[in-house]
Structure formats: structure tokens, C-alpha cells
Structure 1
């Protein structure tokens, strides 16, 4: 299978089409190859199954330790807010 060469602007503009393709692509800038896009075929189902398994394991761990996921999200948001306030105070 011959590799297609595509300019970086065209690649960015038509990214959805290139992702759906099974053809490898050399991405170029001013005629020079700056990278390659090699689509992965048939991995989506495996990746989804792995994510679902990880989600189940996480849910089980949270349940075993009596941890509420919403509480974790709230704590995370509060910590991010405090970190942002510290950054702003340090920049002033």
C-alpha cells in the first residue's frame, strides 16, 4: 500500500476523513515530511472493552472503601480552584 502525502493544513482540515481511512499518511510542511499518521485498525472494540473493565474495577474499589464518586469530583474541583487562586496570587 502506497503512503499518501498530505500538507499539514489539508490534514487538519480533513482529519475526520483521514481517521476513517486505513491508509498511512505522511504529513508534510513546505514539502518536507514532519510526521506520519498510521490508523489503527480493529482496536476500537478492544479499547472500549478495556475502558469498561477499568470502569467496573474502579467502581468496585470505590464501593469497597465507601467512597462516593461525587465527593471525589467535588474535592477535585475545590483543589483546582485553590490551585488557580494560588497561581493568580503568585502572578500578581
Structure 2
């Protein structure tokens, strides 16, 4: 699997197309390769599930009372001090 070569300006101008591509691209400046761009296909369902889980955790944190937050901060400070 060889990488196609494109200049920096062409790469910048066509970035959206390169992100959707399946093959890596060698980015060149004055004919010398300065880097490689390797597009990564992601699993959108996994991304959505992770985002939902993060949202649920945030909702739980926002529902905490001031006393619960203070207790967490105190616990964090104690554990941090013990690690030193």
C-alpha cells in the first residue's frame, strides 16, 4: 500500500477529501516528504455510545450537592497528599 504524494498547499486545500480517503498521503514541501497523513475510519456507534456515557456521568456530577462536592475535593486532596 503506497502513499500518494501531494504538496502542502494541495493537502491543505483538499483536507476534507483526504480525511475521507482510504489511503495514506505523503505530504511534501519542495519535493521532499515532510510528513504522512493516515486517515482513520472510526466506529460512529462506539463514539455515540461513549458520548452518551460521558453525558450521563456529567449529569450525575451536576446533580451533586455542595456537601458532596466538598467531600470529594477533601478526599482528592487527602489522596494527593498521601501519594507524595
Alignment TM-score, normalising by the size of structure 2? 0.67
- In 2, the alpha carbon distance for the partners of 1:65 and 1:30 equals 60
Return the offset for 1:3: 0.8
Match of 1:4 in 2: 4
Structure 1: gaps spanning 5 or more residues = 67-92
Match of 2:48 in 1: 48
* Runs (4+) off by over 2 Å: 42-49
CA change 1:44–1:28 in 2 (3 A) is: farther
- In 1, the alpha carbon distance for the partners of 2:30 and 2:45 equals 37
Q: How many residue pairs get matched?
A: 66
Aligned residue for 2:39, secondary structure, equals: coil
Alignment TM-score, normalising by the size of structure 1? 0.62
